[in-house]
Amino acid sequence: MPSNIHPVFDKSLGRGSKEESLGQRGMVIWFTGLSGSGKSTLAIDLENRLHNEGLVTMMLDGDNVRTGLNANLGFTEEDRTENIRRIAEVAKLFVSAGVVTLCSFVSPTKDIRHLAKSIVGEEDFHEVYVNASFEKCAERDVKGLYKKALNGEIKGFTGLDSPFEAPTDPFLEIDTENNSPEESGTKLFEVFFPLVRKK
């Protein structure tokens, strides 16, 4: 090491120091489920609740990822995998900064969720299965996608002509078909708040 570089300057700030300072534990909360199942609604709600408790959060979803980092990816199987790979790597970076990172993506297959989990690391990855039936999601049709898909205007639509493999052992399952958003939001908060806060 050259004499003009002082060793103390090279001490990179670790995740532990950041978590300590923030009074929280960084982690990924990964919402998976059909389009319209309520993933983003619940993630946004949880983010708001945690924020109100003074916790530092980040939300990753199609809106901010597909328009930026992953704007150069399409919807081939290869690109879908790369999409999730990048998201998981970014989520891992946020976790290294001590941030509670909420990811809301259909992520329909066990393989793709396993990829995300293996990148983030098992101890930091919390899978939340947002469960509502295809029929219920099609009935809600928040984005009008189900109508199009059922009319044959979208190919490879998850739950129709592309499989959704339900998680068999999620960290948490939220049934949005039989519970109100308020009930589901409360449950999520009650599960994650104690895990996240360090103070």
Q: How far is CA 124 from the centre of its chain?
A: 12
Indicate the DSSP class of residue 162: B
DSSP line for 58-92: EEEEHHHHTTTTTTT--SSHHHHHHHHHHHHHHHH
Shortest approach of its own copies to residue 144 CB, angstroms? 12
Closer residue to its own copies (CB): 3 or 168: 3
**Least Å distance between CB 102 and its own copies?**
10
Q: Kindly list the distances between the CA atom of residue 136 and the CA atoms of 48, 106, 158, 161, in Å, as whole numbers in the listed order.
A: 26, 16, 14, 17
As measured in angstroms, the least distance from the Cβ of 126 to its own copies is 19
Q: What is the DSSP letter of 14?
A: P
Name every residue whose Cβ is closer than 8 Å to that of residue 43 and which is 6 or more positions away in sequence: 29, 31, 59, 61, 102, 103, 104
In angstroms, give the least distance from the CB of 77 to its own copies: 16
Instruction: For residue 21, indicate whether it is catalytic.
Output: no
Q: Choose between 18 and 117: whose C-beta lies nearer to its own copies.
A: 18
Nearest-angstrom CA–CA distance, 184 and 130: 10
Task: Indicate the residue among 4 and 151 with the shorter CB distance to its own copies.
Answer: 4
Q: Compare residues 98 and 170 and give the one whose CB is closer to its own copies.
A: 98
The smaller minimum CB distance to its own copies, of residues 162 and 186, is found at 186
Shortest spacing between CB 182 and its own copies, in angstroms:
7
Q: Where does this chain bind its own copies (CB under 8 A)?
A: 1-2, 4-6, 9-13, 17-18, 21-22, 38, 41-42, 44-45, 47-48, 51, 54, 56-60, 64, 68-69, 72, 82, 86, 89-90, 92-94, 96-99, 119, 139-140, 142, 176, 180-182, 185
C-alpha span between 39 and 158 (Å, rounded): 14
DSSP assignment of 41-60, as one string?
A: HHHHHHHHHHHHTT--EEEE
Q: Which of 35, 104, 107, 184 is catalytic?
A: 107
Catalytic residues: 107
